[in-house]
Structure 1
Amino acid sequence: MSTSLPPEHWLADAARTDRVAAPAGRQPAIAAQARRRDPEQVPAELTEPPAVALVPVEVDPDERPTYGVARLDVQRARDEDGDEMFVLTGYSGDSGLQFRSGSRQLRPHGIALKNVRDGGTRPSEICRAIQRWSRNQDRLIDWINRLRAEYGADLRLVIWDDTDYDIPWELLWLDSGQSWDRPPQVLGALVTVTRWTTIHDVGARTPYAPADCTGEVVGYYDTEMRGDTAAFRRFVHRQHFRMGDFLTELARKEVRAGLAYIGCHGVHGSTVHELRLGPYTWLELEAREMAALSERRTLVVINACDSGRVVLNKHLGEKALRGFAELFLRKRAGGCIVSSGEIATEVARSMAEALARHAVEQPHRPVADFLREFRARAAALLPNPLPDTQDDDGKPVVHAQQQVLPFLYSFMFLYYGHPCTTLRLLQQTMGDEA
């Protein structure tokens, strides 16, 4: 039986996405065993695709993360039948808190947040599917909970996911999901989580130092997203309504961009030719110079559908994951916020407004912390218990399903970068606001 709802029901307004990072004291490094694992390190019963033949990241192999920083590596694998699988390895500063997955696990297609869209899986069913999948992750959950007990609020988990499986790690349920007297105990609402991916470029490095993204807002807004400009009205703001003008500005080294904001339609596909932000393809954006990003360590926020999803670029002869986060990080952005699905316009806009408030009220606190708190607020409003998909007469319970959507939307926002990266935006002086 299909679990989809008619398009006119619960997702009629979900047409856009936004995306968008820890305490001012210690500055954690992420470098623990930062070279990617060799294929022979995968358990013998699994066969992993050969490593990408690109220039490796230059890192001191003996360097370990500082207090509170842990890293979870996610690598592709295949079993003897050729089915896609994944292998997990966890590191922390304490050698007694390491982790390695032992059981075989197939790619979980049914829990990807790309399914939250018109004609897709009903929201409560996705939540239940993720709960069910989480119960199979007992060893991983035990490792994370031991880290929480060891480090408390200082825990920063970096998830280095080198797959295109769209696994929503931030939605990992850390309990049974049956506690009706408290908000859901999900990873991304309880722990500061950041993402990373292998950056394929000569000289490219992982973010071992946090970025202080300081400067003006430089933004591109298509017709449907121009309402997002209001979120940044208190800041020095260079607004563009043509993508070409926005990219021309990013090419200028002297532009003082603390935040580069892109609000437009996004398109995902099976090859880089099909990846698109507004009128530009991934390849067209890759060809553009973006000197302003590296000069200021700019935070890039891409408010566009599916902007956080990646493709395995076999079509162009490489076993490398390509996507918009990898592209902008390779252009030396200080961090990147993207989306793993379609987010309703008003939820995307509320995140932009909350991020702007964060930049004013708590510029010393990392963007990753802001995003955890944003998720936690949505988690606190999730109906508990989850609503049924239909009533006793077999009719879809549309209103109840709509109440689940803000929770799922908030967990679509992914942040790529250092867990201690901050955002400081230049405010307009008195009388300068339009």
Structure 2
Amino acid sequence: MTDRRRFADAVFRGARSRRSLRTPHAPLVPRRPPAPPAAPSAPEPETGLETGEPVVFDAFTADLGAGLPTGMALLVVIPVEQGGTPGFRLRAVCCCASLVEFGDVYGRPDLALGSLVAADGLLPVDVLSSMRTWSRTKKGLIRWLDARRAAHGDDLQLVIWDQTGYGIPWELFWLERAPGSGRSEGWLGGLVTVTRWLSIETAWGEVVRDYRSEHTCAGPVAAYVAAEMEHDVSLFGAYHLENSDSLHTLAKALEEGDPLAMVYVACHGTYGARLSDCVLGGVPLDRFDPRRFDRLGPAATFVFLNACHSGSLVDDAGRFRDRALRGFAEVFLRSGAAGVLATSGRVGDRQAHEMADQLFRHLRDHPGRSVAQAVRDLRAEMARMTPDDLLDVDGPEGNRRLLPLLYRFMYVFYGSPRTAVSLATGKGV
């Protein structure tokens, strides 16, 4: 065993995950996903870029920013092929600015946190250093993001519509300081309210909540908490809670009944190249995918999947060949959820409980604040608490101290950045 391998074992041994048994997964292939009916259609992947041929915008491209509320910006990540090699390019629009086409075509990076932040992956210091190095070359994006921050300040809400399936951790994009601006530099997800969007595969698009809409999720909580994570139930001691004894039972309970403010799931999760490898609470994605949860739509429910790899997306190209991204988050959004908070990799047991506890406390102490804003605040707080010089410490203790920072940024929010939660208190509370 190499010294570096011993290093990794020492770092991750103390961060055991109750929530993950990760399965190997193969690289995903580029796709051309159909756009969700509830939101503006996204531009399709482009060909011919390697020849230098001109690219013509399709008819709907100019409408990407249609209806964006004040303070909201949209970044679209489009899969392309250049010389037969997968890559991506960027388009962006803001409520106060016209569409921007970034001219550069970038190759597919190997930066998916699901494989990097693991005992057999990179050390935390290497993950963070790699993100800084990779971000620095995206000059046009850095300048565009800085201009959006200058225009909207802390009110900026950035929606990232990544169609690639590459697992790029955009929340950890390093945003450099503009000279003389006075604005701080740091990880994007701690500076800006960042949410994700994806193409929702459904014939009934009118059920899907739009990422531009504002929602306040009100009512009780429905939950499934695995026996090993039973102490998570205490997080809802003050609220009206409907607790299920399995994910299958919870799924049945979500099919009909009164509207819900929140769905909370705490259990084991796995991820792989096939839908059957993606498992949440013992239920494979290919068996979960056909479900429809009618209780979510009326209240625009917020869903918190506090399990490993619960926010990862997969293209089972070997089976379906339809270039569609599938995942547990997509299933809930398809049923009308306003937002889904999930993880992009393996998270530690203790840290997962702490994240949920801190998030609910933050929402309670700041009524009306959106979930996405609260997640941004928690990331920013952890970034402030983590000394920057830890990136220069290549030892077990320094790397272990970086894990909480990485975990905060592994929680990814899909849906509207203007989704807030108002939980119903239990009887006698």
Structure 2 residue 155 is matched with structure 1 residue 171 = no
Alignment counterpart, residue 297 of structure 2, candidates 294, 299, 313: 294
- 1:73 paired residue number: 76
Alignment counterpart, residue 86 of structure 1, candidates 81, 85, 88: 88
Alignment counterpart, residue 285 of structure 2, candidates 282, 287, 296: 282
- Contact preservation (8 Å) 1:89, 1:101: yes
Secondary structure of the residue aligned to 1:336 is: strand
Separation (CA, whole Å) in 2 of partners of 1:100 and 1:3: 42
- Contact preservation (8 Å) 2:225, 2:232: yes
Structure 2 residue 193 is matched with structure 1 residue 192 = yes
- 1:316 paired residue number: 320
Structure 2 residue 224 is matched with structure 1 residue 220 = yes
Residue identity (%): 31
Secondary structure of the residue aligned to 1:313 is: coil
Separation (CA, whole Å) in 2 of partners of 1:38 and 1:242: 39
Counting only pairs closer than 5 Å after superposition, residues 133-148 of structure 1 correspond to structure 2 as 133-148=134-149
Q: Which amino acid aligns with 2:80?
A: A
- Contact preservation (8 Å) 2:220, 2:424: yes
How far did 1:265 drift? 0.6
Alignment counterpart, residue 270 of structure 2, candidates 251, 267, 272: 267
How far did 1:330 drift? 0.7
How far did 1:301 drift? 0.6
- Contact preservation (8 Å) 2:359, 2:374: yes
RMSD: 2.9
Structure 2 residue 349 is matched with structure 1 residue 345 = yes
Separation (CA, whole Å) in 2 of partners of 1:329 and 1:75: 21
Alignment counterpart, residue 253 of structure 1, candidates 257, 267, 274: 257
Separation (CA, whole Å) in 1 of partners of 2:352 and 2:396: 21
The answer to which structure, 1 or 2, has the higher relative contact order (CA under 8 A, 6+ apart) is: 1
Q: Deviations over 1:133-158 (max 9, x none)?
A: 01111110100000000111221100
Structure 2 residue 405 is matched with structure 1 residue 407 = yes
Q: Which amino acid aligns with 1:89?
A: R
Q: Deviations over 1:28-72 (max 9, x none)?
A: xx999921114458846489xxxxxxxxx9x97783312211000
Q: Deviations over 1:204-247 (max 9, x none)?
A: 24334222211111110112221111111111111223222222
How far did 1:289 drift? 3.6
- 2:387 paired residue number: 383
- 2:237 paired residue number: 233
Separation (CA, whole Å) in 2 of partners of 1:329 and 1:44: 36
How far did 1:426 drift? 0.6
Q: Structure 1's 85 and 2: CA in aligned 2 closer, same or farther, altered over 3 A? A: farther
- 1:422 paired residue number: 420
Separation (CA, whole Å) in 2 of partners of 1:88 and 1:62: 14
- Contact preservation (8 Å) 1:259, 1:301: yes
- Contact preservation (8 Å) 2:68, 2:212: no
Q: Deviations over 1:321-355 (max 9, x none)?
A: 11111111012112101101111112111121122
Aligned length: 397
Q: Structure 1's 184 and 345: CA in aligned 2 closer, same or farther, altered over 3 A? A: farther
Separation (CA, whole Å) in 2 of partners of 1:377 and 1:77: 36
Q: Which amino acid aligns with 1:35?
A: S
Separation (CA, whole Å) in 1 of partners of 2:51 and 2:143: 24
Q: Structure 1's 44 and 106: CA in aligned 2 closer, same or farther, altered over 3 A? A: closer
Counting only pairs closer than 5 Å after superposition, residues 350-365 of structure 1 correspond to structure 2 as 350-365=354-369
Q: Structure 1's 4 and 85: CA in aligned 2 closer, same or farther, altered over 3 A? A: farther
Separation (CA, whole Å) in 1 of partners of 2:170 and 2:4: 23
TM-score, normalising length from structure 1?
A: 0.84
Q: Which amino acid aligns with 2:136?
A: R
Separation (CA, whole Å) in 1 of partners of 2:288 and 2:251: 9
- 1:23 paired residue number: none
Separation (CA, whole Å) in 2 of partners of 1:35 and 1:44: 25
Structure 2 residue 159 is matched with structure 1 residue 158 = yes
Unaligned runs of at least 5 residues, structure 2: 21-35, 54-59
Secondary structure of the residue aligned to 1:257 is: coil
Q: Structure 1's 35 and 160: CA in aligned 2 closer, same or farther, altered over 3 A? A: same
TM-score, normalising length from structure 2?
A: 0.85
How far did 1:320 drift? 0.6
Alignment counterpart, residue 64 of structure 1, candidates 58, 61, 67: 67
Separation (CA, whole Å) in 2 of partners of 1:281 and 1:341: 17
Counting only pairs closer than 5 Å after superposition, residues 325-340 of structure 1 correspond to structure 2 as 325-340=329-344
Separation (CA, whole Å) in 2 of partners of 1:305 and 1:33: 29
- 1:104 paired residue number: 105
How far did 1:383 drift? 2.5
Q: Structure 1's 251 and 297: CA in aligned 2 closer, same or farther, altered over 3 A? A: same
Of 264-273 and 208-217, deviating more is 208-217
Separation (CA, whole Å) in 2 of partners of 1:307 and 1:162: 18
Structure 2 residue 374 is matched with structure 1 residue 370 = yes
Separation (CA, whole Å) in 2 of partners of 1:143 and 1:184: 14
How far did 1:113 drift? 4.9
Separation (CA, whole Å) in 1 of partners of 2:253 and 2:185: 43
Structure 2 residue 306 is matched with structure 1 residue 303 = yes
How far did 1:296 drift? 2.3
